[in-house]
Amino acid sequence: MTYTQLGLAAVVIAVLIDLMGLRTRMVTRKVFWVSYSIIIVFQLITNGVLTGFRIVRYAGDSIIGSTTPTNAAPPFIGDGRLAFAPIEDLLFGFSLVLITLSMWVWLGRSGIQRTPKSGPPRWLR
């Protein structure tokens, strides 16, 4: 499978888990999209640093675009890239954020430590 196919599969699986598995319906909430818009800025900065300085490299035949020679620096925008990183990185980032927030909400609803406890651990008292 290509990186593109894996990224699309990750998004589909994450949305299905959110809507049908955990039933948290995060993708239908405005607060999720506002939070995600903040997160994506930092994801683009991180991806830009890692791929712009060529710390992380991608095989050209596995991503969208990929006409850039392997020994050349990737473009900032264009050729299937945004902030040096392949567009597919945004798919994986979306999936990871959605799964994490869905699990957080689901665990909160199921009563995991519903009453906050403060102070030192009991074994220290």
Planar angle of CA 72, 62, 16, nearest 5 degrees = 135
Separation between Cα atoms, residue 77 and residue 86, nearest integer Å: 10
Query: Is it the case that residue 66 has pLDDT exceeding 70?
Result: no
pTM as predicted: 0.78
- Tell me the pLDDT band of 27, cut-offs 50, 70 and 90: very high
Decide: 34 and 115 in contact? Cβ < 8 Å.
no
Q: Which domain holds residue 77?
A: 3-112
- Mean of all residue pLDDT scores within the chain: 84
Between 52 and 119, name the one with better pLDDT: 52
Name the domain count of the chain: 1
Between 24 and 71, name the one with better pLDDT: 24
> Helix, strand or coil for residue 75?
coil
Residue 123 lies in a domain: no
Residue 12 lies in a domain: yes
Region of poorest pLDDT, from 31-45, 51-65, 67-81, 100-114:
67-81
Separation between Cα atoms, residue 60 and residue 43, nearest integer Å: 21
Query: Is it the case that residue 115 has pLDDT exceeding 60?
Result: yes
